[in-house]
Structures are given as structure tokens and as C-alpha cells.
């Protein structure tokens, strides 16, 4: 019999998975799987368990939680060196990545969808020695995703990020950085930068024109504004990125390998979790490195 390992985080979002567990297990059973279920017991538990499930030759790993839980499961699968498909049932407070993958809303809908047989082979990001699925970022706005207290996120969701972000606008820091990619180099003062593979970041910033399996990232760098009007324009542009921007204040480009260097340590966030303070960040797109269980449509092989 096929075996599925279901990892769920009761601490993510509003804990909605708690009341849907029976339905998810029933769907997996009806789809022909023997189910092993485990609630995450601490930070990084999902990583350890996902690696274990891969090494035990489970046929699929299902996980329910937010972007942080998914990130840990991806770490586990990558660490195992195996390509066991991941089924993702979003139940966090923002679930940025799920929008890009097209996962239907609602826990039961998402669970049914991941069991339909399609496979999507997706790029994974490497940020120094960490992996990420949809964003590595530094500076203003994005730091709110991991500095917003979990309890506030659970109760207020997106609104928590926005409130927290606005209260920080007057304390924005600037970082002098050298950014190297594809034989090019930009050196300037930046308040914000992000490397993304996602339809949205922090539930606020919406991006279009991206592919999750093309081996390249969208990079957005925001130069330090010279006055409050500049800052206002930047925030407006960032909250509604409809196409590639390359204005005086915002630099956008695509690349598969980017190196950020600074004299002082810069705090980064990786998939909404703390990524550490570093003077050098090497960001690499690992093309089509992890497989997701998705609906009925698979992405074409080798594109």
C-alpha cells in the first residue's frame, strides 16, 4: 500500500487544521494511502520528520501549516537527497507561496487537490546554507513578517503585518551594498531588497510575470529615498508590482545567482522566518529541485 506522512503545525495561523484532521486523513485513506500523522512539537521538527519520512521511503509527505512549516519540510526533503513529492495544505496566517502554486482555498479542498495525481517540479532557493521557497529579503517592510508576534499574526493575519509595517516607516534603515549578478554589479544604499519566486510577499506585495520552475528569480532593490515623497511613491509601487519596474528608486531584474556584499551585517528573512545577520549573502536558484503534489496538471518535464 502507498504510504503518506502527514505533518501538521497546530501553532500556525488560527489552528484551523485542528478541526479538519479527520477529513484530511479520510481523504488520504480513500485515495489509497496508509497514513502516518504527526503534529510538530517544536521549531525545525517538521524538517527532521520530513527527512525521516523520505529516508523511510514514504510515497508522499503532506504538510499543513504556514510558509514556515513548508520551509522546514522542504529543508528536510532537500537534506535527504530524495525527491519525495510534497503535498501542501496551507493553514498559516499569510500562505504566500500557496497562491503561486494555485492551491485551492480551504483545508479540505487543498487536501483533495494534492491527491489528484499531478506533479509540479519547482525551483528551490539557496540562501547561504539555508533553503527557501519563495522569498529571501532584507530591510524595511519584510522584517515585519518575522518580527510580528505569532499571537498577533494568528489573530489579525495580514492586518498585523500592515500595522506593524506602518509603525516602522519612521525607523527605516539604509544599507550600503554591492549586488553582483550575471557579470553585472550595482553598488548603492538600499532600504529594501528581495529575491522572489512567488505571487505575493507578506500578503501585501503582489507580483506578476513569474514562473516557479524557470530557474530564475525576480530581484527587487529599493534605493534609499531622499525625502518622504520618494518613500510614499516607493510604498505605492511595491504594493502593486504589475510589471517589471526599473524606476529611479526601484531596480528590478531577473537572475539565477546573486551575491550581496556589505561591510556591516544585514538582517535577512527567508520565507518569512529569520535568516540571520550576514555581510555576504549568496543566493542561488536550484532549478526544479523539489516536487509538489498538485491537482491533475503536471508541469512539462525538462522545461
Ligand X SMILES: Nc1ncnc2c1ncn2[C@@H]1O[C@H](COP(=O)(O)OP(=O)(O)OP(=O)(O)O)[C@@H](O)[C@H]1O
* Spatial distance between the Cα atoms of 161 and 249, rounded to a whole number of angstroms: 23
Q: Report yes or no: 243 and 282 within 8 Å, Cβ to Cβ.
A: no
Task: Reply yes or no on whether 273 is catalytic.
Answer: yes
Nearer to ligand X, 77 or 234 (CB): 77
Answer for which of 4, 28, 62, 66 binds ligand X (CB under 6 A) is 66
Answer for which of 67, 179, 258, 269 binds ligand X (CB under 6 A) is 67
| CA quadruple 158, 166, 127, 40: dihedral sign | negative
Nearer to ligand X, 71 or 249 (CB): 71
Nearer to ligand X, 120 or 161 (CB): 161
Considering the rule CB under 6 A, would residue 164 count as an interface residue with ligand X? no
Minimum CB–partner distance for residue 12 and ligand X (Å): 3
Distance of CA 180 to the CA centre of its chain: 23
Query: In this structure, are strands 184-196 and 135-139 parallel, antiparallel, or unpaired?
Result: antiparallel
Answer for which of 61, 75, 94, 142 binds ligand X (CB under 6 A) is 94
Minimum CB–partner distance for residue 245 and ligand X (Å): 26
* Spatial distance between the Cα atoms of 194 and 196, rounded to a whole number of angstroms: 6
- DSSP, collapsed to helix, strand or coil, labels residue 279 as strand
Cα 245 to Cα 136, 190, 212, 222, 241, distances in angstroms: 19, 16, 20, 11, 8
Considering the rule CB under 6 A, would residue 151 count as an interface residue with ligand X? no
CB atoms closer than 10 angstroms to residue 72: 26
- Kindly indicate which of the ranges 35-43, 122-130, 177-185, 287-295 contains the residues binding ligand X, using the contact rule CB under 6 A: 35-43
Answer for which of 2, 18, 43, 242 binds ligand X (CB under 6 A) is 43
Q: Report yes or no: 121 and 129 within 8 Å, Cβ to Cβ.
A: no
Q: Per-residue x/- mask for ligand X, residues 264 to 283, rule CB under 6 A?
A: --------xx----------
* Spatial distance between the Cα atoms of 184 and 170, rounded to a whole number of angstroms: 32
Catalytic residue among 187, 273, 282, 301: 273
- DSSP, collapsed to helix, strand or coil, labels residue 30 as helix
Considering the rule CB under 6 A, would residue 143 count as an interface residue with ligand X? no
Please list the active-site residues: 273
Binding site for ligand X (CB under 6 A): 9, 11-13, 40-43, 45, 65-69, 72, 92-95, 153, 272-273
Amino acid at each position: 500500500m502507498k504510504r503518506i506522512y502527514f505533518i501538521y503545525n497546530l501553532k500556525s495561523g488560527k489552528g484551523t487544521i485542528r478541526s479538519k484532521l479527520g477529513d484530511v486523513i479520510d481523504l488520504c485513506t480513500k485515495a489509497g494511502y496508509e497514513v502516518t500523522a504527526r503534529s510538530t512539537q517544536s521549531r525545525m521538527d517538521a524538517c527532521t520528520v520530513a527527512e525521516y519520512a523520505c529516508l523511510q521511503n514514504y510515497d508522499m509527505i503532506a504538510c499543513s501549516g504556514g510558509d514556515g512549516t513548508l520551509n522546514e519540510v522542504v529543508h528536510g526533503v532537500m537534506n535527504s537527497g530524495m525527491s519525495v513529492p510534497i503535498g501542501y495544505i496551507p493553514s498559516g496566517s499569510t500562505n504566500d507561496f500557496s497562491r503561486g502554486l494555485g492551491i485551492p482555498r480551504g483545508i479540505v479542498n487543498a487536501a483533495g487537490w494534492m491527491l489528484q495525481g499531478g506533479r509540479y517540479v519547482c525551483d528551490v532557493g539557496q540562501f547561504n546554507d539555508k533553503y527557501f521557497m519563495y522569498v529571501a529579503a532584507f530591510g524595511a517592510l519584510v522584517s515585519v513578517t518575522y518580527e510580528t508576534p505569532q499571537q498577533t499574526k494568528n489573530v489579525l493575519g495580514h492586518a498585523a503585518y500592515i500595522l506593524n509595517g506602518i509603525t516602522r516607516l519612521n525607523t527605516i534603515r539604509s544599507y550600503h551594498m554591492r549586488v553582483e549578478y550575471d557579470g553585472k554589479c550595482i553598488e548603492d544604499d538600499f532600504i529594501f531588497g528581495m529575491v522572489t519566486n512567488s505571487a505575493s510577499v507578506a500578503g501585501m506585495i503582489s507580483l506578476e510575470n513569474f514562473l516557479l520552475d524557470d530557474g530564475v528569480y525576480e530581484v527587487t532593490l529599493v534605493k534609499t529615498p531622499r525625502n518622504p515623497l520618494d518613500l510614499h511613491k516607493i510604498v505605492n509601487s511595491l504594493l502593486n508590482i504589475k510589471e517589471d519596474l526599473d524606476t529611479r528608486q526601484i531596480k528590478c531584474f531577473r537572475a539565477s545567482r546573486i551575491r550581496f556584499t556589505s561591510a556591516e551585517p544585514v538582517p535577512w528573512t527567508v520565507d518569512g522566518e529569520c535568516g540571520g545577520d550576514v555581510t555576504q549573502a549568496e543566493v542561488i536558484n536550484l532549478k526544479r529541485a523539489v516536487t509538489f503534489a498538485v491537482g491533475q496538471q503536471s508541469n512539462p518535464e525538462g522545461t
